[in-house]
Amino acid sequence: MATEVLVPVLGESITEATLGEWLKQPGDPVKADEPIASLETDKVSVEVPSPVAGVMGAHAVQPGDTVSVGAMIATIDAGDGAPAKTAAPEAGSTTAAAPAPAAAPQEAGGNVDAAALSPSVRRAILEHGVDPATVKGSGKDGRLTKEDIVAAASNKPAAAPAAAPAAAPAAAPVAAGGERREERVKMTRLRQTIARRLKEAQDTAALLTTFNDVDMTAVIEARTKYKDLFEKKHGVRLGFMGFFVKAACMALKDIPSVNAYIEGDEIVYHDYADISVAVSAPQGLVVPVIRSADQMSVAQVEKTIGDFGKRAKEGTLKMDEMKGGTFTISNGGVFGSLMSTPIINPPQSAVLGLHRIEDRPVVRNGQVVVRPMMYLALSYDHRIIDGREAVTFLAALKNAIEDPTRLLIDL
């Protein structure tokens, strides 16, 4: 007796998704509630659990297919899956024991079945020339992620120079004719949504970006002095984002239009600050929301961001955690960005871009000194935020970061 696996309810107003990857192949044993497939929605990846224990049956759809809520995507057969692992060899085979060693690469590199790898992982394998069987997966259930492939590629030893004369003829065909390949990979639903929303923001809002820089000396000193005590007491590392989120909340109170948005012919103001924080995930950039960040301590902010980052990598962020938000902070500095002009996250009216910290010469009290400096960028909708307000917001943020005591006494 086979049990149908149906696409679960994905959230309010979401009626369809894209099958990202199969986590179980036909014949694999499955437990009740064990994830068997991953679905990609407009915002997050959602795992589909098995409704019963048994053996994975036939796949009704393939990775990349669009499926509707309630649609049947697979079946679960009764049994424990043992026959699938002890299937008899084909008649006439003289190497019945040969298949056993073939399992070794799969154990070393996690799930290396091409059908089970996500498109981004397959693309990374082709780009970097990495054998997936030699890579240990860090994803859920040991699955390979794009980051695993990139890390393995960076750790590969450099190709040794050709010492033997026999090596020269082998390289000749590539140099002469070259093997130029192209691959077409369908955009994930998340990437399509990101592309559409960014283009909508450019087409709808009157975007403008203003810049400032901030001296990070005081924050770095505070972090160095208290990071060990902070981690011991709160169980989380003290980073820079906690300071910037709190400083942004304080500046948003002073300049409420930066925390507002346009709806029709009205301006909607908020007396709270729900801060969207851009987080990198294997499928692309996701933006979970820190609710009522203005009411949180730095420790609570750091714990929330750490949890978001971990679950974004695992693909377990919930749909409700991605909704709303009144202001966004995007930290391109973690990737080495010096300066950028971020695009707002509609319907929000502003986004703060943080960048890398680097030592630069600045003038202090008539003397040229070296200070750890960071560029700040505020992109905003000029329809609702005037230049004076944007500059004032950045100045307030700068003052709070350069003198963190202001965060304690709300100045």
Catalytic machinery residues: 382, 386
Strands of the sheet with 72-77, listed across from one edge: 3-6, 72-77, 54-59, 29-30
Give 113's contacts (C-beta < 8 A, 6+ positions apart): 25, 106
Give 182's contacts (C-beta < 8 A, 6+ positions apart): none
AA letter at 14: I
User: Which neighbouring-strand residues pair with 30?
Assistant: 54
Q: What is the enclosing helix (H) or strand (E) of 179?
A: none
Which residue reads 């259930």 in tokens? 141
State how far the Cα of 398 lies from the Cα of 215, in Å rounded to an integer: 8
| Pairing state between β 350-354 and 327-331 | parallel
- The answer to whether residues 298 and 260 touch, using CB atoms and an 8 Å cutoff, is no
Which residue reads 């012919």 in tokens? 265
- The answer to whether residues 32 and 24 touch, using CB atoms and an 8 Å cutoff, is no
- The answer to whether residues 275 and 249 touch, using CB atoms and an 8 Å cutoff, is yes
